[in-house]
Amino acid sequence: MADLDAVAAGRVGEGTAGRLSLGERSRRMLMLRGVTAAVVAAGDPGPLPPVTDAVALLLRAEAADARVVSEILTHPAVGVWAVGLLARLRSEGAADAPGGRPLWQDTGYLHTLAGAAAVRAGVGALVRVPAYAGTVCLPTLGRAEFPGPHMEYATAVLETAPGAGATLTLGTRVLRLPGEPGLPGERWHPVRTLVWDPGGDGGPHTLALDDCDPYRDFRELHPTRGSLAGAEEETWRRLFAEAGQVLAARHSGAAGLLSSSLRTLAPLPRMPRFRAESASYSESVGGVVLSEPHDAAELAATLVHEARHSVLNSLVHQVGLFRRPDPDGREPGEPLLYAPWRSDPRPTPGLVHGVYAFAGVADFWRVERHALSGRRADLAHFEFAVWRDAVAQALRSLSAPGPQARLTDWGRRFVDRLASWTAPWARERVPSYPLALAREESADLRITWRLHHVRARPDEVRELAERWRSGLSARGVGGAPEPVPQASGGGREPRGELRRVLLADGSLKAARTDHDRRADLLAADCGLIGGDTAGALRGYQAVLAGDPGAHAAWAGLALALRAADATAATPCLLGRPELVRALALELHTDGASPVDPVKLCTWLSE
């Protein structure tokens, strides 16, 4: 109970972290047992020895150095590999992976784990391991690259001897690993490490910058991205050290949680400003996939976010926060919920995960905004206000009967503790300018989500269309909206990025235009964000005249009408934008002149 309360408050001490870690190790041991049994049952095809040989070597290495084997088994990529391989073995045609990758290349990862354990524990061994296009990866250690040409899929031999180092042989080429595998050598590229000192008794925190492991990215197994260039590595080192200083100086709780939970970072290419990518996976505890950040504050906030996902995944593996779902992950009749940070509807467990992660982000900016000045402070105030409100809204959703039924007693306790921790934020003052933009952002997110994932009742739309055509009032027509459980679409809107650019730069001149966004719609967005409300209204109306189904234009029009204080037209579009859009599309089928969207909104709001 104390550990659950500590995690809910975002303060994971040494004792809690140790117990979570032991639970993850036990889970990985069970996964390894399951994988081994499944591979043996499948016949273990290919040119590699039986996987039981790899297990035997892991046991020998564990006898020599149990800490090394524990670190290897809990390496985040191992969870990705195990789940992916089990899924492949259970599917039909398991030998035919996308791209033609043979099954033994996946089962062979266990041999590379055993080989890495032998090298690190100083155990003598002769291990045959998979090679891909002349490259051999030893998890947690690094990769060897042999000069070509090479077969796409081949095997190499790793030989280790106590006190004599290790060699890799591929065909006729032999490569000797450095005596200290963490050092670079000819054609040997060790896993890079990032270091920062959070202060206290724990000493420096080291995070692996892993561009080697074939299972480092759960979204793309065996990614084809190249290794980091020297300048990219230096950027990561600099920003990580700066982010560590920020966390150590002002965010001791978050720094401790991050130090105890994150182990590897799989780098992605840099994205445009305010469009960073990051991701975590429940079976890759301690691992994060992250695009190269633009500054230290962005990196610190993202690491806090992903560290919270990681520690919550560990907790969920040991404590039942959610009632057991049916096979598709949902209980019958379970509602899919609005998450302000997602474009898709979320089940209760997904919303709990998100609210916990973004509570950490809100808390980071809540503190950080007081240490900054000028435009950087305005942006930090904005981020705090946006995520404070998002967390509060999600927690209100989790208090509804449907989500409450999905939570166990432990789950309700966790959510209650989180709500108690975040409740005082509502009373904290935010300056008027960033607060106004934050409220606009929150409304934008909600309206856009409704447009994609809530459906007006068809009978209501038809009746309203008949009344419009007949010149009658809309009054008296109404019905409950219908959620659309599996609706797609609703990707990230650039308006959120534009608001952040305006706060950071003071203008929209530097705003990027490389969106999948038509020019007239983007111009209307810039007018809305930049204060040209009249121009934005004209722009959105022009877009909707030719395309009454444009979700983004309806959301923009709602915000522009509110900014123009068009009280007669605003209420319905703000509250039920899906109904207005559905009615406009119904009337558009008549083939008559386009319906003025502002007049339609006014008519519905009367």
pLDDT, one tens digit per residue, over 73-98 is: 999 999 999 999 999 998 855 555 55
Residue 3 forms part of a structural domain: no
- Which of these three, 158, 189, 220, is where a domain ends? 189
Same domain? For 425 and 475 the reply is no
Same domain, 234 and 344: yes
> pTM for this one?
0.92
Same domain, 185 and 198: no
Among the candidates 189, 219, 239, a domain finishes at 189
| 212, 97: one domain | no
Q: Is the pLDDT of residue 463 over 80?
A: yes
- Let me know if residue 503 belongs to a domain: yes
pLDDT category, 148, cuts 50, 70, 90?
Answer: confident
Residue 36 lies in a domain: yes
Are residue 300 and residue 240 in the same domain, yes or no?
yes
Q: Are residues 198 and 163 in the same domain?
A: no
What's the structural domain count of the chain?
A: 3
Which one, of 238, 253, 237, lies nearest residue 200 by Cα?
253
What does pLDDT average to over the chain? 89
User: Would you say 554 and 582 are in contact if contact means Cβ atoms under 8 Å apart?
Assistant: no
Same domain, 423 and 300: yes
Residues 455 and 591 reside in one and the same domain: yes
Cα(230)–Cα(223) distance, integer angstroms: 20
C-alpha to C-alpha distances, 10 to 43, 333, 422, nearest whole angstrom: 46, 32, 11
- What is the pLDDT, as a whole number, of residue 332? 54
pLDDT tops 70 at residue 226: yes
pLDDT 10s digits, 541-595: 999 998 999 999 999 999 999 999 877 778 888 889 999 999 999 988 776 677 8
- Whether residues 234 and 375 share a domain: the answer is yes
Q: Average pLDDT in the 349-377 region?
A: 97
Could you read off the pLDDT of 121-130 as tens digits, one per residue?
A: 999 999 999 9
Tokens read off for 441: 């952002």
Does residue 515 surpass a pLDDT of 80?
no
The pLDDT value given to residue 605: 81
* Residue 23 resides in a domain: no
User: Does 5 map to a domain?
Assistant: no
Classify residue 19: in a domain, yes or no.
Answer: no
Regarding whether 286 and 178 lie in a shared domain, the answer is no
Q: Which of 381, 414, 437 is the last residue of a domain?
A: 437
Q: Which residues of 314-339 are buried (b: 16+ CB within 10 A; e: fewer)?
A: bbbbbbebbeeeeeeebbeebbbbbb
Q: Could you tell me if 52 and 129 lie in one domain?
A: yes
Q: Cα(81)–Cα(106) distance, rounded to whole angstroms?
A: 8
User: What is the reported pLDDT for 491?
Assistant: 61
Same domain, 174 and 250: no
Residue at 154 is within a domain: yes
Residue-wise pLDDT for 371-429, tens only, equals 999 999 999 999 999 999 999 999 999 999 889 989 999 999 999 999 999 999 999 99
Residue 451: which domain range? 446-605
- The Cα angle at residue 11 between residues 9 and 14, in degrees rounded to 5: 145
Q: Which of 415, 426, 348, 350 is nearest to 9 (CA)?
A: 415
Q: Give the model's pLDDT for residue 486.
A: 46
**Residue at 462 is within a domain:** yes
